[in-house]
């Protein structure tokens, strides 16, 4: 696995502590971005900053891209509200706002190769991104 973040050198074979620390440090001092990529090229990415973020994942074979969402919990903003990241603003649905601590849990799960926790569901982004259905 390779852990990458804005303004830092990539880390090969990161520890769970390194992964959690990077994800929870987003927004210090401004909203940021991080990704964790496995040997096959599948990845998990997070953008945003304290305390809110958006998490997406991609599988390369077959090519699929998803955005994380939750069925319960706080809804800090309405559909269409934008989160800031180092790459710009991203419009989200109300159920796509996650806390950084939830993102850190998803990253630790991906690192360990385990099934994602039940608090998260995944919405296909293939049509939005112009990818095959």
Residue keyed to tokens 């990539």: 10
Which neighbouring-strand residues pair with 66?
Answer: 57, 124
What are the structural domain ranges in the chain? 2-128
**For residue 128, what is the enclosing H or E element?**
helix 126-129
The predicted pLDDT at position 28 comes to 64
pLDDT reported for residue 85: 78
pTM: 0.91
Comparing 45 with 8, which gets the higher pLDDT?
Answer: 45
pLDDT exceeds 90 at position 89: no
DSSP string of 101-113?
Answer: HHHHHHHHHHHHT
């Amino acid at each position: 696995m390779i852990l990458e973040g804005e303004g830092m050198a990539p880390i090969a074979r990161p520890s769970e502590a390194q992964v959690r620390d990077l994800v929870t440090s987003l927004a210090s001092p401004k909203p940021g971005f991080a990704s964790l990529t496995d040997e096959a090229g599948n990845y998990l990415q997070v953008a945003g900053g304290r305390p809110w973020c958006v998490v997406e994942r991609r599988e390369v074979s077959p090519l699929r891209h998803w955005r994380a969402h939750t069925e319960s919990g706080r809804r800090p903003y309405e559909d269409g509200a934008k989160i800031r990241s180092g790459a710009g603003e991203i419009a989200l649905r109300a159920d796509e706002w996650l806390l950084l601590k939830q993102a850190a849990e998803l990253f630790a799960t991906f690192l360990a190769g385990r099934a994602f926790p039940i608090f998260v569901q995944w919405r296909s982004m293939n049509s939005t991104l112009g990818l095959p259905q």
